[in-house]
Amino acid sequence: MRLLVLGGTKFLGRHLVAAALEAGDAVTLFNRGRTNPELFAGQVERIQGDRDGGLDALAGGEWDAVLDMCGYLPRVVGASAQAVAGRCGHYTFVSSVSVYGSVAEAGIDESAPVDRLADPATEVIDEETYGGLKALCEEAAEAAIPGRVLVVRPGLIVGPWDPTDRFTYWPRRIAAGGDVLLPGGPERPVQVIDGRDLAAWILAAVHRDLTGRFNACGPAEPIGMGALFDACAAVSGSGARPVWADEQALLDAGVEPWSELPLWVGEGADPKQAGFMQISSARAVAEGLSFRPIEEIASDTIAWDREHPEFRSDATLRPEREAELLAALAG
């Protein structure tokens, strides 16, 4: 297939492009050329431009499918989709499960209501507007190319090349050994999907001309934080010891969910977040979405993190802060 990828040089995008090249697809990248410009040198066609006001560079091309990996504003996504509407057969927009207006219940699926912004015209992207803007982006793509759009709503994407440290923190910290502070209890649900698995499924869906909305959260079987801890400890051989902390106590101590302690939004203390890590992906699984074992994800993430320490975040819990919290719990 002839594929146009908007973005394509970061995390999920680079996994998607790598999978497409391995499948024998002809890939064109459209981006500003600022992030990893040397990636896929000699393997792809490159068109340099800006999605926000610089789409003229796309004039004249034709593609079997367009994959939008980096859309955040409905105005920009709508303009991008309109620019290629008459010259592509299929359009994929990578959205997010953050579109859902409520995650208070476990097992919500694609039929659940999406978030609606008080000001749909806002272009401020923060934790309050992100989900609502993604929902509007979905609608903008579908309005431009009706009936030919695949909307993918991933949960937390993890694995090699993840620039966020929102999962990598845990394999790295557990591999370091000692007492490890963990929020909630061993049964607290967690959901992650390896970027390579998501990329493979998106590409297969594009090849099949699949359309509609699909949640994409893993793993195949529900797991708790305890199982994730055990997997990380097993593959690293660290002998780390879990220390489980009450979620409200952590919040009272000023620990920041999601940033200082990733894979946790304080759901045990906030009923409005109770279903956050229990989204249903049954529809995508029925269409072939599959997941590698959590042990493989943990092992590959540890190996990648050791080779690329430059991706580590300063926002995650610092060792001295963790030691203070562990001491307070013990006291």
The answer on 246 and 301 residing in a single domain is yes
Inter-residue contact 40 to 21 (CB < 8 Å): yes
The answer on 185 and 145 residing in a single domain is no
Q: CA separation (Å) from 115 to 24, 132, 135, 162, 282?
A: 39, 5, 7, 26, 21
The predicted model scores a pTM of 0.96
Residue 310, burial from CB neighbour count under 10 angstroms (0-12, 13-18, 19+): exposed
Whether 198 is covered by a domain: the verdict is no
Whether 255 is covered by a domain: the verdict is yes
pLDDT tens-place values along the chain, 331 residues long: 999 999 999 999 999 999 999 999 999 999 999 999 999 999 999 999 999 999 999 998 999 999 999 899 999 999 999 999 999 999 999 999 999 999 999 999 999 999 999 999 999 999 999 999 999 999 999 999 999 999 999 999 999 999 999 999 999 999 999 999 999 999 999 999 999 999 999 999 999 999 999 999 999 888 999 999 999 999 999 999 999 999 999 999 999 999 999 999 999 888 999 999 999 999 999 999 999 999 999 999 999 999 999 999 999 999 999 999 999 987 6
Phi, psi angle pair for 330, to nearest 5°: -70, -30
CATH number of the domain bearing residue 176: 3.90.25
- 3, amino acid identity: L
Q: CA separation (Å) from 272 to 100, 101, 134, 264, 267?
A: 12, 10, 20, 13, 7
Whether 44 is covered by a domain: the verdict is yes
Do the strands 223-224 and 189-190 form a parallel or antiparallel pair, or are they unpaired? antiparallel
Neighbours of 57 (CB within 10 A): 13
* CA 290 to the chain's CA centroid: 16
Whether 237 is covered by a domain: the verdict is yes
Q: Which pLDDT tens digit goes with each residue over 91-141?
A: 999 999 999 999 999 999 999 999 999 999 999 999 999 999 999 999 999
Whether 301 is covered by a domain: the verdict is yes
As a whole number of angstroms, the distance between CA 51 and CA 7 comes to 10
CA-angle at 85, arms to 79 and 135, nearest 5°: 50
Whether 279 is covered by a domain: the verdict is no
The answer on 181 and 127 residing in a single domain is no
Letter string b/e over residues 66-101, b meaning 16 or more CB atoms within 10 A of that residue's CB: bbbbbbebbebbbbbbebbbeebebbbbbbbbbbbe
Phi, psi angle pair for 244, to nearest 5°: -90, 135
Question: What is the tally of structural domains in the chain?
Answer: 2
Whether 241 is covered by a domain: the verdict is yes
Query: What pLDDT shows up at residue 331?
Result: 66
Q: Which residues contact 208 (CB under 8 A, 6 or more apart)?
A: none
Whether 116 is covered by a domain: the verdict is yes
Per the DSSP assignment, residues forming a β-bridge with 68 are 6, 93
The answer on 227 and 88 residing in a single domain is no
The answer on 247 and 144 residing in a single domain is no
For the CA atoms of 151, 47, 157, 270, the dihedral, rounded to the nearest 10 degrees, stands at: -70
The answer on 173 and 129 residing in a single domain is no
Domain boundary among 154, 180, 200: 154
| SS3 state of residue 16 | helix
Query: What pLDDT shows up at residue 304?
Result: 98
The answer on 58 and 23 residing in a single domain is yes
As a whole number of angstroms, the distance between CA 64 and CA 122 comes to 33
Show the DSSP H helices in 43-181 as ranges. 74-84, 130-144, 169-175
Name the E strands within 32-170.
Answer: 45-48, 63-68, 88-94, 149-154, 157-158
Count how many residues are written for the chain: 331
